């Protein structure tokens, strides 16, 4: 798999590239946002396999990594993993809202990073299997989910969700009021094990609540998991 590493520190990039190469990745290194965006343009990749994943550092010399992520989303749907020392929840939510597929904080365990790379690359737009005919979702009042088109609306207004946010919402919406265990959600949405992924789930739940404007839509069942509480038509935010 080709992987684009966006990292301004040459020492960090060299060490990480060596590890990634040992695990079968062909790494292309971009030292700033402009280089990263040029590398992702179709003209720069004629005859080459598409990038499977972008590892994006946020502290870049020419522009903030958040800006770069937003621009990447206008060029390609390639999965983006933000790799940064910014560990606060607001930064995580902001990154996911901009279209990042995952968010890893430094210092990180190399094994965990590799697992996350494999997890987000399993269903890229270029390799994703055709959508299977989906079972009809129960009525959710103000929230409407179109599985074939991956479109979500609230009171008729379209809500922009990332792939994982949509997958998470669609899973919970299959059985409103039923508690899904954390391990089950991680397995079905992220296609990986629970270990090391719990924080990512929490951030995605928080992001969904914010984007949909319904803090009580997804209920946290302490020590177990999450369930969706279907809103009524007349219920306010």
Domains and CATH numbers, the chain: 2-121 (3.40.50.2300), 143-228 (1.10.10.10)
Q: Are 64 and 91 in contact (CB under 8 A)?
A: no
Taking the C-alpha atoms of residue 138 and residue 132, their distance in angstroms, rounded to an integer, is: 18
Quote the pLDDT of residue 236. Answer: 47
Quote the pLDDT of residue 118. Answer: 82
Nearest CA among 237, 231, 5, 233 for reference residue 117: 5
- Per-residue pLDDT band for 127 (boundaries 50, 70, 90) equals very low
Average pLDDT for 168-189: 86
Higher pLDDT, 30 or 122: 30
Taking the C-alpha atoms of residue 214 and residue 143, their distance in angstroms, rounded to an integer, is: 10
Q: Are 51 and 43 in contact (CB under 8 A)?
A: no
pLDDT of 234 over the 70 cut: no
Summarised one tens digit per residue, pLDDT across range 138-178 is 668 889 998 888 899 999 999 999 988 999 999 999 888 88
Cβ-based neighbour number of residue 58 at 10 Å: 20
Q: Are 182 and 198 in contact (CB under 8 A)?
A: yes
Quote the pLDDT of residue 186. Answer: 83
Quote the pLDDT of residue 28. Answer: 95
Q: Are strands 26-30 and 51-57 parallel, antiparallel or unpaired?
A: unpaired
Length of the chain: 237
Mean pLDDT lowest among 35-39, 51-55, 93-97, 233-237: 233-237
- Per-residue pLDDT band for 122 (boundaries 50, 70, 90) equals low
Quote the pLDDT of residue 123. Answer: 52
pLDDT of 136 over the 60 cut: no
Taking the C-alpha atoms of residue 211 and residue 214, their distance in angstroms, rounded to an integer, is: 8
Quote the pLDDT of residue 235. Answer: 45
pTM (whole model) above 0.75 = no
Nearest CA among 172, 168, 167 for reference residue 140: 172
Taking the C-alpha atoms of residue 189 and residue 78, their distance in angstroms, rounded to an integer, is: 17
Tokens of 147: 């599985």
Higher pLDDT, 235 or 49: 49
Summarised one tens digit per residue, pLDDT across range 53-95 is 999 999 899 999 999 999 998 888 889 999 988 878 888 888 8
How many Cα neighbours within 13 Å face the side chain of 195? Answer: 5
The mean of the pLDDT values for the chain is 83
pLDDT of 216 over the 80 cut: yes
Helix (H, G, I), strand (E, B) or coil at 159: strand
pLDDT of 218 over the 90 cut: yes
Helix (H, G, I), strand (E, B) or coil at 153: strand
Helix (H, G, I), strand (E, B) or coil at 56: strand
Vertex 214: Cα angle to 211 and 217 (nearest 5): 115
- Per-residue pLDDT band for 29 (boundaries 50, 70, 90) equals very high
């Amino acid at each position: 798999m080709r992987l684009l590493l966006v990292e301004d520190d040459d020492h960090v990039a060299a060490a990480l590239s060596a590890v990634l190469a040992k695990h079968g990745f062909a790494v292309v290194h971009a030292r700033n946002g402009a280089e990263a965006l040029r590398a992702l343009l179709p003209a720069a990749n004629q005859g080459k396999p598409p990038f499977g994943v972008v590892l994006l550092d946020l502290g870049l010399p020419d522009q903030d990594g958040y800006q770069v992520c937003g621009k990447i989303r206008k060029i390609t749907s390639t999965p983006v993993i933000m790799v940064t020392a910014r560990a606060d929840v607001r930064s995580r939510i902001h990154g996911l809202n901009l279209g990042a597929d995952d968010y890893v904080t430094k210092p990180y365990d190399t094994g965990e990073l590799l697992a996350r790379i494999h997890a987000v690359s399993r269903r890229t737009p270029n390799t994703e299997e055709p959508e299977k005919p989906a079972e009809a979702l129960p009525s959710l009042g103000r929230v409407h989910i179109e599985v074939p088109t991956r479109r979500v609306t609230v009171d008729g207004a379209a809500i922009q969700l990332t792939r994982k946010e949509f997958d998470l919402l669609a899973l919970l919406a299959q059985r409103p009021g039923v508690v899904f265990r954390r391990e089950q959600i991680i397995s079905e949405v992220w296609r990986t094990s629970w270990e090391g992924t719990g924080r990512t789930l929490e951030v995605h739940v928080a992001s969904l609540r914010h984007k949909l404007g319904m803090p009580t839509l997804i209920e946290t069942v302490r020590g177990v998991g999450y369930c969706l509480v279907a809103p009524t038509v007349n219920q306010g935010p």
